[in-house]
């Protein structure tokens, strides 16, 4: 069967790729476009390691078909820093030691950015529930939550 030609925008760049009908957006990003920052931890939407945004909505890219990206705007972890300038969340994750192995980190950053874009002054409970779809097995979440709260405070002050 012939492949589907998809034209889309990824991290602001117009991009095109060919994919099979059953191929996920995550596979297209990783295997076709070399954007391996999004990770497959489960393939069933339970771990959030593959988080990206599609037209500004936070989604698991393992639960989106590549073909659905047609005409959409996708952002991934690779689009989070502005050149060599880190997003404040990225810097705070480093400052707070909010990562150990780092496999879940791209997903957490993408999800946390979506939260702060949406709710600049979240409570700890809001942060915890917003990020409940991002599993981390190393940190016990403590330092991640602190990094997000601290970023929010700093960004509000800025």
Q: Per CB under 8 A, which of residues 10..69 are in contact with other proteins? A: 20-22, 24, 27, 30, 35-49, 51, 54, 57-60, 62-65, 67-68
Is the dihedral angle over the CA atoms 65, 71, 73, 74 positive or is it negative?
Answer: positive
Nearer to other proteins, 82 or 157 (CB): 82
Find the shortest distance in angstroms from Cβ 155 to other proteins.
Answer: 16
Find the shortest distance in angstroms from Cβ 157 to other proteins.
Answer: 21
Q: Which of residues 89-108 bind other proteins (CB under 8 A)?
A: 90-91, 93-97, 99-106
Decide: is 114 part of the binding site for other proteins (CB under 8 A).
Answer: yes
* DSSP reduced 3-state for 9: strand
Decide: is 119 part of the binding site for other proteins (CB under 8 A).
Answer: no
* Contact call for residues 80 and 110 (beta carbons, < 8 A): yes
Question: Pairing relation of β-strands 13-19 and 51-54?
Answer: unpaired
For residue 86, give every residue at least 6 positions away whose Cβ sits within 8 Å of its Cβ, in sequence order, or none: 94
Q: Which of residues 137-156 bind other proteins (CB under 8 A)?
A: 137-146
CA distance 15 to 27: 15
Number of shown-chain residues binding other proteins (CB under 8 A): 82
Nearer to other proteins, 9 or 146 (CB): 146
Question: Which residue in 132, 153, 154, 156 binds other proteins (CB under 8 A)?
Answer: 132
Strand ranges for 1-158 from DSSP E: 4-10, 13-19, 51-54, 57-60, 73-75
């Amino acid at each position: 069967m012939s492949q589907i030609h998809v034209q889309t925008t990824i991290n602001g760049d117009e991009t095109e790729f060919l994919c099979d009908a059953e191929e996920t957006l995550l596979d297209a990003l990783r295997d076709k476009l070399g954007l391996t920052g999004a990770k497959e931890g489960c393939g069933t939407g339970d771990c959030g390691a593959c988080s990206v945004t599609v037209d500004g909505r936070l989604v698991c890219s393992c639960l989106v078909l590549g073909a659905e990206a047609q005409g959409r705007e996708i952002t991934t972890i690779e689009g989070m820093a502005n050149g060599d300038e880190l997003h404040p969340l990225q810097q705070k994750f480093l400052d707070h030691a909010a990562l150990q192995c780092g496999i879940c980190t791209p997903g957490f950053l993408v999800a946390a950015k979506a939260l702060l874009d949406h709710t600049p002054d979240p409570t700890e409970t809001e942060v915890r529930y917003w990020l409940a779809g991002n599993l981390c097995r190393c940190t016990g979440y403590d330092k991640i939550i602190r990094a997000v709260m601290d970023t929010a405070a700093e960004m509000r002050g800025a």
